[in-house]
Structure 1
Amino acid sequence: MEQEKGRTGGSAGWFNGFLGVLIFSGSLPATRVAVMEFDPVFLTVARAAIAGLLALVLLLLTRQKRPTRAQLPPLIIVALGVVVGFPLLTALALQHVTSAHSIVFIGLLPLATALFGVLRGGERPRPIFWLFSVTGSLLVAGFALSQDLSASLAGDLLMLAAVLVCGLGYAEGATLSRKLGGWQVICWALLLSLPFMLILSLLTMPASFDSISQPAWMGLAYVSLFSMLIGFVFWYRGLAQGGIAAVGQLQLLQPFFGLALAAGLLHEPVSVLMVGVTVAVILCVAGSKRFAR
């Protein structure tokens, strides 16, 4: 009975995690579109403010119990990592690099998430898991080194920083989701950030919105509703159900979907090397998935 329950929970975790990754795959292309006309700082605080207002409505309508004092520090880490840190750093990075280039760096997220899953979630993957994960990460780093870093070093460093804070936010939120609930974690984290995000939105708001095109508005809407809220509902639930290190490996599908979106919607160039590295990293993480537990 316990084994059957574990298999059911694991399957549900992979399904929810897959939906989360699918939603997140559109984040960088949508951010790329929006940041071409919105200031990156305003885009970061505006998306968090919009999602925070929606989270407030959800929490009030469902009459959720407030987090305990012990749950506040993890919620603050989640807020700093995924509500503020990752959106801001990626928005700044996308001023220097294309979304297709930045998406490949998401290949580092499974390793970062697994590392923080060990440090914060108490998980213990088998040794061969780390061999596959590190190999995949080295492939991503090798791709970055093969590029013209004189023009995109700042963007690459910003993306690396974004991956680290995001991995911490994922692991911390997934651990807390086991007690608080998946959608509740992101809603409370957004609510904690809401007062600051509203004030900063007003301070960084452009003098006029007349020149903002419809695609930029659509990009803002996507990252506010889907990337900042709905995606996390599925993602944190999946990590909590199937394990942080295991389900976290699904993030290697994100470059694949993201590259397809960048090429199809933004008509950005996607090199053979970029595709090859992405496929190779996916194969590495597919191997690490088998030994995640």
Structure 2
Amino acid sequence: MAAQTDIRTHKLAHGCMGLGGDWDTQPYTPRDIQHAETAIEAALDAGITAFDHADIYRYGKAEAVFGEVLARTPGLRERVVLQTKCGIRLPEGDRPGYYDLRGAGILRRVEESLTRLRTDVLDVLLLHRPDPLADPQDIAKALTSLHAQGLVRQFGVSNMSGPQIAALQAHVDVPLVVNQLEMSLARRDWVEAGVLVNTPAATGNGLAPGTLEHCTANGIRLQAWGALARGRLTSTDTPVGRLLTDLARRKDTTPETILLWWLQRHPAGITPVVGTTRPERIGACADAVRREPELTHEEWYELWIAARDAPLP
């Protein structure tokens, strides 16, 4: 069965940053390919068909091992949605890392990603980080060209605020349909921003107010990277960890699913990105695809307050 190519329809995505071996420029190994194949199979078994990459993950090796699996598995490309990101340049020698959203660089990075992934089209391309030196008209020209050539179907951004997205969209004819942010029960500034207005704590919040509202009003799907908080909440005996375990028992599901339901329950529309490569943890997320979030209004707040370790203002 072919995957739904509109990324906004997907309830969950698998983050591929953990594929490809070590964070270095050494070649990937057959074991790295097997590791990727196992993770991809576990994701598909859990009902996940959207896969999130970036050109920098493992110095390109994450895309490359995924491409190896696609090449070895007839029909797999038609079953999955491929999303990748560009715009970050890793350190090289004495040169520090930097951001680069120049149009020529975007075109070059997409060509390289297509080669590594062994596909002729990307379903989604995200601009990975804001580049203060970027010319939005130059970006627009590159994105329009990629779309016209049929090399990229949909576009979005990552780690951008509502005003930044609006400023870019004013120059770009193709719609920006995704904004990927770090969002989880452990990283809550995206939701805190909406309730800390007119309180002293508002100045310390890390997300520009109105970002969620801008995305919701303009049909931009929010994706949550770091959605499982790297296991910090589900693997500890803390009040929030115990609450997750209790709710999972009562709902006949897993603590991982409860964490994802907490994100999905928000009316902004959030697609969590699950970055683990462990098959058992990927499988523990399956109910976030197969079932609608079953948290009540009160349970959602109970989790939030437990994670805050403080009452609401």
On whether the aligned pair clears a TM of 0.5, the verdict is no
Whose helix proportion is higher, 1 or 2?
Answer: 1
| TM-score, with length taken from structure 2 | 0.27
When Rg is computed on C-alpha atoms for both structures, the one with the higher figure is: 2
Give TM-score scaled by structure 1 length. Answer: 0.29
